[in-house]
Chain A
């Protein structure tokens, strides 16, 4: 029996003009690992919410067709019933943990099903061990990092051993290390427990290797339903992985599903090992870079800056960092490394507990949630029309800010923080969370424009592909201090976790698919028989 069956499902949110799901019919079989692909607003989240029973029971709206999860028809069974067969995990870890301690959180879904004390205790222990959170069981949930919270939320979704696991971009707020760890856990759950997994994800390069099948959605309808390789052969450019784009640009086929496939394909063409560019210098250490910049004009300078929380840890530990006007700098590091704190200090939202910060002018800061900047009833009340027109938002002047898409909301918030006198520094904190590739391209172009106008741009991000697109320098924070500060090509070319897929395929020779393709062409053109049409 299929774990999930959708039969001509069409769903429209209350008040919406067009359906979020349009005549969707498909099945998910036991033990399958399915990746849901598609741009923002394509219907991925709605699909998962329908499978969890939240659509239509929780959200209302108009639902036609039939959805059966684990033998239960969603028209007759609500989310609480369906949770016995389908565990769910959404984007934001903070709103997915409802109890005070990790142990209580893992026990909660089991108690809701009326399990006996002994069965709950066993279920909690097994879930904790499977997810590597046994050491956290007695910890308070509000003390956990984003990665830990997401793992605990996954544990709660898995504790009752559901046959189906529904995940909506669970890694979007995690650093690459925590994201990879979470995906590793999902793979193990899928392989060892036989749990069917449906995972919606924008960064397909992270999860295609684990997938049995990829379903692409566009405007609520299924456009592709194939195995990962078949998907890459049919997918539009916006859904291609960097590895697939590298191969396409280099004229190679078939597109690789994973880094391992790509390397094997390149080795078969005589391109084994690292493909290094002609010039490759040694990495510059943070200290040397700072000295080299001492005489240059400075947009922002941190001089041995510390930030220590009263009765808590030191978040930043003697940070030395200088940004020149017009410089484009990506700030990377694990969750909790101090990136957001550094940006808040730069903008003056917090004061350093030791050290000094010099600013060459105003520092504009766009924090992680652009919605927090929007307080007016209409977009037109937020900003004058000419400013909206410059941001390409004048057509939306009559809309309510909360009705804007994620990308539009972010553009509006960025226009708000940039309004008035030009900024010496523009800082953005994790601007690409949950953003599709099209929106990332637009944002990258905007950041380059800002730098061309003379603002130093400093962006905290976990997204190595995005950082490679627009930054010229990358600072890697580790435990409150820069552990690498060098040109982006060096930092993201030589990393393991903090590296682009192209760099991992080519051993660091290039960061972006187009650069990588050029490099491949100079090293060894593909044999005529293998050139794609």
Chain B
């Protein structure tokens, strides 16, 4: 899940705008609860990934996030006591106590899982389509410490991924029983810390933290910068308006209420259109 410049409108947009687009998309997902709207947003993220030629990366992130989403759904079903439609009586279950699983808690858990999946997919889209170097440069002008953390984190992802593959191969070469999971976790953690120290030392000797701020880059706004900025603003406005104006009719408790009428369908269509329109213009998307 690493950035590579591709010929796509999102890659052609400046990093700050691309980042804003991905963050707003994730933020809007957190503001909606209606499954139709969340479904539309998930489709929007997947379609945006495909249009940015990183569809495989975004889809793989969903597979990776699926167990996490299922866990959220299950935990919600087990711990939430609200909802009137009991679908299973599990009796006494430590540490939850007396557990009656309700349809409403299960459905709402699924909605929370779906939200988490959309956020994970947005993160994958961000990693694959937003230039981290350009973003770091922009960040560095604002806050040295945040940028240092971001730089370390960005650089450590591919380094640790390679280390993990190497470590797994080395462990497969050990004859006899595999090492205990705890010992492996300890070794991996200390190895990661060693690596982080090496990368931090490199940052130091490249002058990071010398106090000088990088010069501001003046760059005219391209059609893609404008399109994605407008899209991000539009999505944010829709999210705020829907919340404030009560455009979304959804209640999880005490009984599930998720009507699908013209309003929801219209809002879903507008969300999709606003998120995907910037990808329609493919002029000037090469390097």
| A344 interface residue per 8 A CB criterion | yes
Closest A residue by C-beta to B176:
A420
| Chain A residues in 8 Å Cβ range of B204 | 53-54, 57-58, 78-80, 83
Given A98-B151, A367-B169, A420-B175, do A117 and B201 touch, yes or no (CB 8 Å)? no
| Chain B residues in 8 Å Cβ range of A344 | 169
Binds B, one of A100-108, A488-496, A501-509: A100-108
| Chain B residues in 8 Å Cβ range of A98 | 151, 155, 199, 202-203, 206
| B212 interface residue per 8 A CB criterion | yes
| Chain B residues in 8 Å Cβ range of A377 | 183, 186
Interface residues of A in 274-313 (CB under 8 A from B): none
| B184 interface residue per 8 A CB criterion | yes
Interface size on B, residues (CB 8 A): 56
Binds A, one of B27-35, B75-83, B130-138, B272-280: B130-138
Interface size class of A (residues with CB under 8 A): 35 or more
- Measured CA separation A114–B5 after assembly (Å): 26
B108-144 to A contact mask, C-beta < 8 Å, 1/0: 0000000000000000000000011110110010000
B180-209 to A contact mask, C-beta < 8 Å, 1/0: 000110110011000100111111111111
Interface residues of A in 82-126 (CB under 8 A from B): 82-84, 87-88, 90, 92, 94-101, 104, 108-109, 111-117, 120
Closest B residue by C-beta to A311:
B56
| B166 interface residue per 8 A CB criterion | yes
Do the beta carbons of B183 and A376 come within 8 Å of each other? yes
Given A95-B198, A95-B199, A100-B2, do A112 and B175 touch, yes or no (CB 8 Å)? no
Closest A residue by C-beta to B198:
A95
Closest B residue by C-beta to A114:
B212
- Measured CA separation A54–B209 after assembly (Å): 13
Interface residues of B in 9-26 (CB under 8 A from A): none
**B252 CB, min distance to chain A CBs, angstroms:** 42
By secondary structure, the B interface counts as: helix
Closest B residue by C-beta to A113:
B212
- Measured CA separation A207–B5 after assembly (Å): 39
Do the beta carbons of B202 and A95 come within 8 Å of each other? yes
Which residue from A101, A112, A372, A421 sits with its C-beta under 8 Å from B208? A112
| A364 interface residue per 8 A CB criterion | yes
A349-362 to B contact mask, C-beta < 8 Å, 1/0: 10000000000001
Query: Chain B interface (Cβ within 8 Å of chain A)?
Result: 2-5, 131-134, 136-137, 140, 151, 154-155, 158-159, 162, 166-167, 169-176, 179, 183-184, 186-187, 190-191, 195, 198-215, 217-218, 287
Offer 15 A-B interface pairs, CB within 8 angstroms, sorted by A. A52-B205, A57-B204, A80-B211, A83-B204, A95-B199, A98-B155, A111-B137, A111-B140, A116-B215, A120-B215, A142-B2, A371-B191, A372-B169, A373-B173, A375-B186
